[in-house]
């Protein structure tokens, strides 16, 4: 009976530990897996041998419940991209050594696009070298940009936080009886799923947000000012949701001039400031009271406001990953297929990770209105089930309880 | 049996409608008050005659529950400061006319410092002119800067949101294994109560925030950099909470250079950017990865995360205001006196509003550590009871239900 190794990677989400919880619980339940190991800080920790024993840390069922309500990776994360085997054969030999040393038969990687690239490379390596080591990707991303799956765990909770916060900001906007523009800046470099979820307050009677701009449509600053003026001709408050990643017709980010030029480990530009940019634009071209609000990292770590649907699905897809591995799957990412919206039903399956890695799932153009400043009914139907349901948390001193793993390295 | 008028003013809080709810319920229950009128947009609406009937809008007890979970003023707000009577006697004659027209015997104003100034002026006017019209202030402010009361409704929920969000940001910070500084900018122009509440995660085992800067202590940028370097010599993550209002030794706001120079209706400088300023400072003087997060208006309107203590007290102080008015009180603000921390007990009383208006309650220097970069045990003891308890909300489509008043003006 061989052992399993699990790790987490990429940017935090509020629900990523629910997948970890589901996987650990299913591994124990199955009786077909020996040790349940976790690597700290993703593949970096696997390479560094910072591997811990997970099974021993969960003495009570309640520990899993608390873990599921703990935001960001309990195992830590990394931004490490595995090189091709031909570029660094020694690294792959090192990996072989580590897998042999810990007798790993199963490796699960919970992450986004870059992590699925690692799943792809590892599974191809083990297949080519004839080793029966099963490598499975478990999706997570607040951006919801992983292809091949209806949606990804982590997105629903981020969408719920955005929808709720925007609804509360709307209430905040309507208290004064003066003309004003409020701009809410929402995460999403290339995909507008998160910004789209800012529209959800309109399904519960809110009159706003009035305008929504996603990165999938070219952003025209002049059209934006015309849009704002039109709203202000109808109502005193104009509320705008905008994705951090909106681009001008020349392909540059609209906020480019407001940026620091810092790049992350993958060479992505550091993005911030589209809210501040649009705020300055409105002040200059419209002249009324204006403010911008950046929802910032709270979008990805606010596990005090989890979507019950998201957490349940994240746990389930984690546990199914174990079952699929035991049934012989490898080189795949777990996926959701949506069966229906009303009632909401999904089926869990898997797809070859090679079809998924390094690709992005954007919002279909048909789910954005013709003018490019709002979303359509199809998008509402898609989004609503994903934010459904509340999770009540164990608390301590008026704050949520979190589960912190003991990080004693296995010798 | 004369009628009552109630209004709300100043900046929004998440709990301000709980005081409105408590007052309306008590007015109905008392059987000693005729009509229950609300003025839209505070004193401005009272002067404009935009007055609505409140009693008719609450057919079910559940309506009050939903109102209590609705952020920002259900009646709308204003930033209007009543002039002295000698400056504008005609305005006071107009007020007399409105009070006579609606047969108002009681006026309740839910608000902060500026609103208490209005309570003071109105009550002195009616006393001087020998009219038995009772004017009572009901405190609300997220800043907690009203003197004469142990704390103000609205603060506890804001503190709970800050404590919870900072705890979640801490989890988010610890996922990567690299040196980094995270700066969380918190509201509070002059008083540091809100920034202090960022320390609460340390009471549930979190290792951060490491440094806390309040406006009550002069901010020294060089000492700040030394503080950050010292923390980084001990741990890879340095997490800082800073109040938007920290000032340099010359009395200017630390973030002054980053500000737009816009002033609000009272001539207050528009504040933003201390987080961005400290971020730039760390990038320049320390050189490691750094980011800043502004919690922004979510601090005052996140009623999805109410403190149960705050809501219960806000409701109660609203209902006591009615009782005190019926007993003959006028020219007072309702206050909390803390009886004990463990068990937490408060008594509700009232104080002459003249002692309160236009004054600010700052954090005592003794509740800040000697170095001026952290808070003391007394502050923890003071804060913890105020964020205690969770409120579960009625929801719709995965979002909180809000109560929106029908705004039909009474003829």
Cβ atoms B366, B381 nearer than 8 A: no
- Residue B258 is predicted with a pLDDT of 54
Phi, psi of A271 (to 5 degrees): -105, 135
Which one of B175, B204, B399 has the shortest CB-CB distance to A164? B399
- The Cα A17–Cα B204 span in angstroms is 19
A contact residues 299-318, partner B, Cβ 8 Å cutoff: 300-305, 307
B120 is catalytic: no
Contact call for B171 and A304, based on CB within 8 A? no
A contact residues 94-113, partner B, Cβ 8 Å cutoff: none
- Residue A257 is predicted with a pLDDT of 58
How do the pLDDT tens digits run along chain B, 411 residues long?
A: 999 999 999 999 999 999 999 999 999 999 999 999 999 999 999 999 999 999 999 999 999 999 999 999 999 999 898 999 999 999 999 999 999 999 999 999 999 999 999 999 999 999 999 999 999 999 999 999 999 999 999 999 999 999 999 999 999 999 988 899 999 999 999 999 999 999 999 999 999 999 999 999 999 999 999 999 999 999 999 999 999 999 999 999 988 755 444 444 444 444 458 998 899 889 889 999 999 999 999 999 999 999 999 999 999 999 999 999 999 999 999 999 999 999 999 999 999 999 998 899 999 999 999 999 999 999 999 999 999 999 998 999 999 999 999 999 997
Contact call for A305 and B304, based on CB within 8 A? yes
Phi, psi of A61 (to 5 degrees): -60, -35
Which one of B160, B171, B172 has the shortest CB-CB distance to A398? B160
- Residue A261 is predicted with a pLDDT of 47
Which one of A398, A401, A404 has the shortest CB-CB distance to B388? A398
Q: How far is CA A267 from CA A81, A261, B217, in A?
A: 12, 11, 41
- Residue B269 is predicted with a pLDDT of 47
pLDDT lower than 70: segments of chain A: 257-272
- Within 8 A of B41 by CB-CB distance, chain A residues are 175-177
Contact call for B175 and A205, based on CB within 8 A? no
Which one of B164, B169, B295 has the shortest CB-CB distance to A399? B164
Which one of A78, A164, A392 has the shortest CB-CB distance to B400? A164
Cβ atoms A156, A387 nearer than 8 A: yes
Q: Is A168 within 8 Å of chain B by CB?
A: yes
- The Cα B282–Cα A254 span in angstroms is 27
- Residue B272 is predicted with a pLDDT of 53
Q: Is A276 within 8 Å of chain B by CB?
A: no
C-alpha B43: how far from chain center: 19
Cβ atoms A382, A309 nearer than 8 A: no
Any residues with CB less than 8 A from the CB of B31 and at least 6 apart, and which? Answer: none
- Within 8 A of B399 by CB-CB distance, chain A residues are 160, 163-164, 167, 200-201, 204, 387
- Within 8 A of A388 by CB-CB distance, chain B residues are 397-398
Q: How far is CA A95 from CA A43, A88, A133, A330, B106, in A?
A: 10, 11, 12, 17, 78
Of the CA atoms within 13 Å of residue B25, those in its CB half-sphere come to 21
3-class SS letters over chain A: CCEEEEEECCCCCCCHHHHHHHHHHHHHHHCCCCCEEEECCHHHHHHHCCEEECHHHCCCHHHHHHHHCCCCCCCCCCCCCCCCCCCCHHHHHHHHHHHHHCCEEEEEEEECHHHHHHHHHHHHHHHHCCCCCEEEEEECCCCCCCCCCCCCCCHHHHHHHHHHHHHHHHHHHCCCCCCEEEEEEECCCCCCHHHHHCCHHHHHCCCCCCEEECCCCCCCHHHHHHHHHHHHHHCCEEEEEEECCCECCCCCECCHHHCCCCECCCCCECCCCHHHHHHHHHHHHCCCEEEEEECCCHHHHCHHHCEHHHHHHHHHHHHHHHHHHHCCCCCEEEEEEEEECCCCEEEEEEEEHHHCCCCCCCCCHHHECCCCCCECHHHHHHHHHHHCCECCCCEECCEECCCCCCCCECC
- The Cα A391–Cα A372 span in angstroms is 35
- The Cα B394–Cα B67 span in angstroms is 11
**Which run of H or of E encompasses B216?**
none
A contact residues 174-203, partner B, Cβ 8 Å cutoff: 174-177, 200-201, 203
- The Cα B374–Cα B335 span in angstroms is 28
- Residue A173's Cβ-count burial label (10 Å; 0-12, 13-18, 19+) is buried
- Within 8 A of A384 by CB-CB distance, chain B residues are 397-398
Backbone Cα Rg of chain A: 22
Contact call for A71 and B298, based on CB within 8 A? no
Q: Which has the closest alpha carbon to A9: A19, A216, A231, B385?
A: A19
Any residues with CB less than 8 A from the CB of A80 and at least 6 apart, and which? Answer: A9, A42, A43, A44, A118
Least Cα separation, residue A140 to chain B (angstroms) = 15
- The Cα B99–Cα B92 span in angstroms is 10
Exactly one of A143, A227, A310, A374 is catalytic; name it: A143
- The Cα A285–Cα A222 span in angstroms is 9
Least Cα separation, residue A145 to chain B (angstroms) = 21
Specify the 3-state DSSP secondary structure of B90. Answer: helix
Q: Is A223 within 8 Å of chain B by CB?
A: no
Exactly one of B143, B227, B310, B374 is catalytic; name it: B143
- Within 8 A of B77 by CB-CB distance, chain A residues are 175-176
- Within 8 A of B169 by CB-CB distance, chain A residues are 297-298, 301
Which one of B77, B163, B169 has the shortest CB-CB distance to A301? B169
pTM assigned to the model = 0.96
């Amino acid at each position: 009976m061989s052992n399993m190794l699990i790790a987490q990677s990429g940017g935090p989400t509020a629900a990523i530990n629910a997948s970890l919880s589901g996987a650990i619980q299913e591994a124990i339940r199955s009786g077909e897996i020996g040790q349940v190991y976790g690597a700290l800080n993703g593949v970096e920790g696997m390479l560094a041998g910072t591997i811990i024993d997970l099974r021993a840390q969960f003495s009570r069922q309640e520990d899993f419940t608390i873990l599921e309500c703990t935001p960001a990776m309990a195992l830590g994360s990394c931004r490490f991209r595995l090189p091709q085997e031909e570029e660094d054969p020694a690294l792959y030999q090192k990996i072989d050594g580590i897998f042999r040393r810990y007798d790993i038969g199963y490796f699960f990687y919970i992450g986004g696009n870059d992590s699925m690239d690692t799943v792809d490379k590892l599974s191809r390596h083990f297949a080519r070298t004839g080793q029966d080591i099963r490598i499975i990707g478990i999706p997570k991303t607040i951006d919801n940009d992983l292809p091949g799956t209806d949606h990804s765990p982590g997105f629903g909770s981020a969408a719920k936080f955005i929808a709720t916060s925007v609804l509360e900001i709307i209430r905040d906007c309507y208290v004064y009886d003066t003309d004003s523009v409020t701009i809410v800046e929402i995460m999403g470099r290339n995909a507008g799923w998160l910004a789209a979820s800012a529209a959800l307050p309109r399904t519960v009677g809110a009159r706003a947000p009035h305008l929504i701009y996603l990165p999938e449509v070219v952003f025209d600053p002049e059209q934006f000012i015309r849009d704002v003026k039109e709203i202000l001709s109808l109502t005193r408050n104009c509320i705008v949701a905008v994705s951090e990643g909106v681009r001008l017709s020349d392909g540059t980010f609209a906020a480019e001039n407001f940026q620091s030029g810092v790049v992350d480990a993958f060479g992505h530009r550091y993005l911030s400031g589209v809210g501040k940019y649009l705020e300055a634009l409105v002040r200059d071209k419209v002249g009324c009271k204006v403010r911008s609000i950046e929802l910032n990292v709270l979008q990805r770590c606010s596990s005090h406001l989890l979507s019950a649907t998201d957490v349940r699905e994240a746990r389930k897809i984690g546990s199914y990953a174990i079952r699929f591995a035991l049934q012989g799957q490898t080189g795949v990412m777990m996926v959701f297929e949506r069966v229906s919206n009303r009632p909401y039903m999904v089926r869990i399956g898997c797809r070859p990770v090679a079809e998924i890695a390094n690709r992005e799932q954007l919002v279909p153009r048909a789910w954005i209105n013709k003018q490019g400043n709002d979303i359509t009914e199809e998008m509402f139907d898609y989004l609503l089930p994903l934010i459904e349901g509340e999770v009540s948390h164990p608390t301590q001193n008026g704050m949520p309880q979190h589960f912190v793993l003991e990080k004693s390295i296995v010798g």
